[in-house]
Amino acid sequence: MPRKLIAGNWKMNCLKADGVALARDLGVRYSGEADPVFDMLVCPPAQIIDAVGAAIAGSGVVLGGQDCHRERKGAFTGDVAAPMLADLGCSHVIVGHSERRQYHGEIDLLVSEKAKAVHEAGMTAIICIGETEAERDAGQALAVCSRQIAGSVPEGSSAENTVIAYEPVWAIGTGRTPTADDVAEVHAHIRAELSRMLADPDDVQILYGGSVKASNAEELMSVANVDGALVGGASLKADDFWAIAKACS
């Protein structure tokens, strides 16, 4: 079974001082664990990755980006290249988050190209997928996940360089979550889809994301094929994020 990964996606939150304080707090807690059964990842806004990286240095908490450009460098004003994130010490980069798909028009092909750029920079891509509420209501949740996996997971992906995050769009920031049975169904489906594409599907971490909090983490993290969480709002408070992580223990 893959090791659990508890990942915080800070989104467009935290000025530098707040981010550094949060990261330092998590670093102290994590490094104080004798034998943590989970990996902990924080994904701050790009502008403060460097400062957050310094705050968690040596703690065992790892660092990630929230997005990257598909190209390695060039005339792309305002964008961030994957090698730049690697240069700052990132081990992971989130790609294809539904907020990127929704507000920036990102399609599966672009997500796949971004994931490839992450791989080529020597990092792990956290590829996000998940259905909208209308798609779930139409009975399309599994089909949407299949389509997004087929389109967004590039050739050369493996458990070494790829994590899948299942984030139903309607559960993000809403306080609503699918039932444990629904999560189990989708995650088993994702695992089956991966087994048709990858050599080591059983080792791929499949995260659940969408309104994960301390109060529901234990139930969600104990569902079969759930190998961790991608947490938004509740990752901004050390107590809440830590409680989610401890729910894996």
Judged by the rule CB under 6 A, the positions of this chain that interact with ligand 13P are: 9, 97, 167, 172-173, 209-212, 230-234
Indicate which residue of 69, 92, 97, 189 is catalytic: 97
Q: What angle do the packed helices 141-152 and 108-120 form, to 10 degrees?
A: 50
Nearer to ligand 13P, 72 or 104 (CB): 104
Q: Are strands 124-129 and 38-43 parallel, antiparallel or unpaired?
A: unpaired
Indicate which residue of 167, 187, 189, 193 is catalytic: 167
Residue (of 218, 244, 239) closest to 28 by Cα position: 239
User: Distance between alpha carbon 115 and the CA centroid of its chain, in Å?
Assistant: 12
Residue (of 151, 166, 230) closest to 197 by Cα position: 151
Write down the least CB distance from residue 173 to ligand 13P, Å: 4
Structure tokens at 119: 């791989």
Residue (of 55, 11, 2) closest to 230 by Cα position: 11
Burial class of residue 152 in the structure, from the number of CB atoms within 10 Å of its CB (0-12 exposed, 13-18 middle, 19+ buried):
buried
Nearer to ligand 13P, 123 or 172 (CB): 172
Concatenated DSSP letters of 84-137: HHHHTT--EEEES-HHHHHHS---HHHHHHHHHHHHHTT-EEEEEE---HHHHH
From residue 151, give the alpha-carbon distance in Å to each of 24, 166, 179, 188.
37, 15, 27, 19
Q: Based on the residue annotation, tell me whether 193 is a catalytic residue of this protein.
A: no
Q: Based on the residue annotation, tell me whether 119 is a catalytic residue of this protein.
A: no
By beta carbon distance, the residue nearest ligand 13P is 232
Q: Catalytic residue positions?
A: 97, 167
